[in-house]
Chain A
Amino acid sequence: AQSVTQLGSHVSVSEGALVLLRCNYSSSVPPYLFWYVQYPNQGLQLLLKYTTGATLVKGINGFEAEFKKSETSFHLTKPSAHMSDAAEYFCAVSDLNRDDKIIFGKGTRLHILP
């Protein structure tokens, strides 16, 4: 079965600095990959997704992620952090060829330092 590992339960960056949130997945076939964001007391909102095609995916709020099959990774980046980016971020994987379930990582809480 597929699985997702997010490195770092908490990440702190200074406002204006690069944001890098790491995600590695396990899947025996090409996966579908997602990043979601959750603001306090809210549901999850999709940031971006990779299904097929271009491996560099751009999402909302200036975020992007690159699918690297050789590294089984789908790291999330943003060139310049903003205070409004403070939230919890979840990486998720789904495998249409197997059981179709969407499996989430444990999440990374992003803190933005002024």
Chain B
Amino acid sequence: NAGVTQTPKFQVLKTGQSMTLQCAQDMNHNSMYWYRQDPGMGLRLIYYSASEGTTDKGEVPNGYNVSRLNKREFSLRLESAAPSQTSVYFCASSEESRDRGYTEAFFGQGTRLTVV
């Protein structure tokens, strides 16, 4: 049972480079999330997807784009990386439906990104 899988686990980018963080879940959840974690700031929501084909901005969306490719996959793209985007990124999924019940968020192991 893999749960939520993120790739890569570590990445170093130069300022201005682009990259895509991949996330996949095998729990058939509708909702998926991308958070960033910085010291003293907790987890801040970057983007959120309530279902396949929908995405919404969170607290800190600037500099990021997302794609909900299908129900399983939710990718986060940095088009032009900046040092301020150095962070640990977490993908999560959950089920939030009155019909299907409610679960907590399940997290991937994180991607540690450094932009130099």
Contact = CB atoms under 8 A, between A and B. Distances in A.
A90 B90 CA distance: 14
Which bucket holds chain B's interface residue count? Answer: 20 to 34
Interface of A: 6, 9, 32, 34, 42-46, 49, 51, 90, 92, 94, 96, 99-107
A92, A96, A101, A105 — which one has the most chain B CB atoms within 10 A of its CB? A101
Interface in B82-116: 90, 92, 94, 96, 98, 102, 104-105, 107-110
19 contacts: A42-B110, A43-B90, A44-B90, A44-B105, A44-B107, A49-B104, A51-B102, A90-B42, A90-B43, A92-B105, A96-B98, A100-B96, A101-B56, A101-B58, A102-B33, A102-B45, A102-B92, A102-B105, A107-B43
Interface of B: 31, 33, 35, 40-45, 48, 50, 56, 58, 90, 92, 94, 96, 98, 102, 104-105, 107-110
Contacts of A105: 42
